[in-house]
Each structure stands twice: as C-alpha cells, then as structure tokens.
C-alpha cells in the first residue's frame, strides 16, 4: 500500500506564493505535484501545497516557510482511499430545470423527458454538482424557456464541459468549449464523447478567448464562464469584444459577496445584469450585452 503525504501553508500575495511554489518543487524528496491557489474570500491569502510519495523534509519545509515569510507547513499523511469511488458513491444526481446531471451508477434514475448529462466522478474539474454549475444550468434553462435560442455558444473555462454539452443538447448549432488546462480539455472531450456530443462540441486549449477558433466564431450570442472572481473581472473587456449586441453571458464561480464587484466590472463595458441566482453561498449572474 503506497502512502502519500501533503504539506500545506499560506501566505499573503500572489508573487511570493508563486515563488514559494516554485521553490517547493526543488525540495528533496521532490513533491509529485504542487498547487498554488488564491483563497477566494478577498483576504489576499494564498495557499501553497505539495503532494509527496515519501515523507517530506520537515527541516527543508521549515526553512522555506521562514524564507518566504509563510506560515509553518502543516504535514499530513493521506489515508489510502479510492477518492473517485468515494465521490461516486456519495454524489447524488442534480436536477436543474430540464437538465439532469448524473453518474453512470445512477443511470436508472434519469427522469423521462429530462435532458441527461452523464458526468463521471473524476479526480479534477468537477462533476456538475457544485452550486455554481447548477446555477448556470438553471440560468440556461430559464433563457431557453423564455424563447432564446443559442446559435453561437461558447463555454470559457469549461472544465468538464457540462455547460457546453447542455447547450448542445437543446440547440441545433455547434458549441465551442475552452479551458486553460490541457488535461481539462481531454476530460471535456471524453465527456462529450460519452454523451454522444463529440460532433457538436469543439474543445480547445485556451486562456479566455485567446484561440484562433474562438476569435473566428465570434461574436457569440451566449457565453458561459464558470471560473473565479479575479479571472472573471480580467475577462470582462474580452467578453465585451466577443459578445454580440443583445447577447448573454452567464457567469459563476462566485461567492455572493463577490457579485457586486463583478457586476460593476461588466457594466463598465456594456454587459448589464439581467438576473442573479443564489444557491447557498454561491451566485450565478446572467448579463446581457447592450444592443
């Protein structure tokens, strides 16, 4: 049985956090993976973590935390668990309007007349069960119920591509999905194949709209972006350039207290709030481009 270990710390500021993450990669024994993430609570605190196949060097970690003015690393032994199987057993299907997101173990629960979206539990990129994804699906369902038909749809930061697939399921025209992570793109393509949508959803690797095919297909009448507050705000000017007049943007990945800042950033470039949906601590925004 292989044991794995984690070592986590926090510090303030993006630049020192990224520098510490790079330094952590040089530790001996080296971690098998390093993550650097901003804690999305507007505190400016970043989390840096390493995953190890052998007990990490505690002295080396202490020296690194001192050198970068970070909190002491917290080291833990990870229980030997099949996380995918655990998630598969504990997740229940999600209904969002006409959409039904499920794993293959719940295939017998798909309601008649629903739009089923098969998303298997995986080690990354979500399962479609998060409140932000559910909010986006509800917003999509509402637009469709109001008579809107998406003829040119993009899913930016697609992860599993569940939103792209939902649009492709109900409308005739092809959809494009993008993600900055090449592994996420592979996951998205596999999900499209599993849902019989490989010919209707094109998956590309891109940061935001930065891809020739994304540029070529613009302007869009609907864009999903279920990411995080900071990249959503950074995306606002590009969204304005790529969204057709009268077109919609469905944004999420936001805590409720972060919504106003994003709404203001998009209003400044002509994308105005139409609807705000709150699920627990999370909010989904539906915006419309000024005609």
Beta bridge partners of 33: 51
pTM greater than the 0.85 cutoff = no
Q: Are 5 and 55 in contact (CB under 8 A)?
A: yes
Total domains in the chain come to 2
One domain for residues 252 and 147: yes
Strand-by-strand arrangement of the 115-118 sheet: 94-96, 99-102, 115-118
Residue 165 lies in a domain: yes
Per-residue pLDDT of the chain (291 residues; tens, 9 = 90+): 567 899 999 999 999 999 999 899 889 998 988 888 888 667 889 999 998 988 999 999 999 999 999 999 999 987 665 545 555 555 677 889 999 988 877 788 888 989 999 987 653 444 555 678 899 999 999 999 999 999 999 999 998 899 999 999 999 999 999 998 888 899 899 999 999 999 899 999 999 999 999 999 999 999 999 988 888 999 999 999 999 999 999 999 888 888 999 999 999 999 999 999 998 888 999 999 997
Residue 85 lies in a domain: no
Q: What is the pLDDT of residue 192?
A: 95
Q: What is the CATH number of the domain that holds 144?
A: 3.40.50.150
One domain for residues 240 and 144: yes
Q: What is the pLDDT of residue 124?
A: 41
Residue 92 lies in a domain: no
One domain for residues 140 and 277: yes
One domain for residues 136 and 226: yes
Q: What is the CATH number of the domain that holds 49?
A: 3.30.70.260
Q: What is the pLDDT of residue 287?
A: 98
One domain for residues 138 and 266: yes
Q: Domain boundary residue among 78, 102, 119?
A: 78
One domain for residues 184 and 272: yes
One domain for residues 57 and 193: no
Residue 234 lies in a domain: yes
Q: Domain boundary residue among 57, 78, 99?
A: 78
Q: What is the pLDDT of residue 83?
A: 47
Residue (of 214, 217, 231) closest to 173 by Cα position: 217
Q: Helix, strand or coil for residue 43?
A: coil
The boundaries of the domain holding residue 261 are 131-289
Residue 181 lies in a domain: yes
Residue 142 lies in a domain: yes
Residue 126 lies in a domain: no
Residue 10 lies in a domain: yes
- Outline where DSSP puts E strands in the chain: 4-12, 33-38, 45-52, 74-78, 94-96, 99-102, 115-118, 153-156, 175-179, 201-205, 220-226, 243-255, 271-279, 282-289
Q: What is the pLDDT of residue 3?
A: 76
Phi and psi dihedrals of 65, rounded to 5? -65, -40
Burial readout 80-118 (b: 16 or more C-beta within 10 A, e: otherwise): eeeeeeebbeebebbebbbbbbbbeeeeeeeeeeebbbb
Q: Domain boundary residue among 46, 78, 110?
A: 78
């Amino acid at each position: 049985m292989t044991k794995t270990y984690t070592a986590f710390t926090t510090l303030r500021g993006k630049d020192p956090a990224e520098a510490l993450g790079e330094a952590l990669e040089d530790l001996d024994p080296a971690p098998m993976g390093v993550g650097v993430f901003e804690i999305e609570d507007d505190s400016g605190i970043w989390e840096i973590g390493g995953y190890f196949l052998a007990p990490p060097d505690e002295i080396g970690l202490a020296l690194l935390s001192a050198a970068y003015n970070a909190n002491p690393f917290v080291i833990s032994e990870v229980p030997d668990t099949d996380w995918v199987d655990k998630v598969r057993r504990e997740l229940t299907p999600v209904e969002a309007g006409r959409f039904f997101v499920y794993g293959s173990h719940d295939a017998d629960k798909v309601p008649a007349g629903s739009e089923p979206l098969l998303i298997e539990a995986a080690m990354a990129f979500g399962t479609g069960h998060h409140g932000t994804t559910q909010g986006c699906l509800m917003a999509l369902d509402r637009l469709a119920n109001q008579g809107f038909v998406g003829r040119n749809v993009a899913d930016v930061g697609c992860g599993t591509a569940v939103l792209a697939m939902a649009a492709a399921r109900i409308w005739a025209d092809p959809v494009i999905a993008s993600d900055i992570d090449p592994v996420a793109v592979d996951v998205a393509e596999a999900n499209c194949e599993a849902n019989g949508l490989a010919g209707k959803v094109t998956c590309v690797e891109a940061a935001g709209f930065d891809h020739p095919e994304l540029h070529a297909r613009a302007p869009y009448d609907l864009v999903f972006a279920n990411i995080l507050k900071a990249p959503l705000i950074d995306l606002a000017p590009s969204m304005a350039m790529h969204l057709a007049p009268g077109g919609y943007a469905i944004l999420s990945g936001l805590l409720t207290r972060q919504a106003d800042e994003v709404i203001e950033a998009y209003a400044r470039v002509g994308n105005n709030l139409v609807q705000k949906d709150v699920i627990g601590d999370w909010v989904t925004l539906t915006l419309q481009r000024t005609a």
